[in-house]
């Protein structure tokens, strides 16, 4: 019984892999005249620029609040 379950699952895995590889090859053939993906530097810039801006705003707030407080306290 266990052997038949293992054989069935192995057969379904290999069938799924075959279907996936066929669809992947179709996608590659369809997109072969163009660049398949975006440039790496552009992807990383899109990912890192917002993170860096958020980090800089946080650090400015954490380190700059005493200076802002002093400036506001002396002007009032």
Q: Helix or strand or coil: residue 37?
A: coil
pLDDT category of residue 46 using cuts at 50, 70 and 90: very high
Q: pLDDT digit string (tens) for 14-40?
A: 666 565 666 666 665 555 555 667 788
pTM: 0.45
Closest CA to 9 of 17, 74, 30, 47: 17
Expressed as residue numbers, the domain containing 16 is 2-75
Name the domain count of the chain.
1
Q: Is pLDDT above 70 for 72?
A: yes
Strands (E), the chain: none
Q: Which of 51, 29, 47 is nearest to 39 (CA)?
A: 47
pLDDT value for 66? 95
């Amino acid at each position: 019984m266990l052997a038949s379950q293992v054989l069935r699952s192995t057969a379904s895995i290999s069938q799924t892999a075959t279907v996936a590889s066929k669809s992947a090859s179709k996608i590659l053939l369809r997109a072969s005249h163009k660049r398949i993906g975006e440039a790496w530097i552009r992807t990383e810039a899109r990912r890192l620029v917002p993170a860096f801006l958020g980090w800089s705003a946080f650090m400015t707030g954490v380190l700059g609040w005493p200076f802002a407080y002093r400036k506001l306290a002396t002007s009032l």
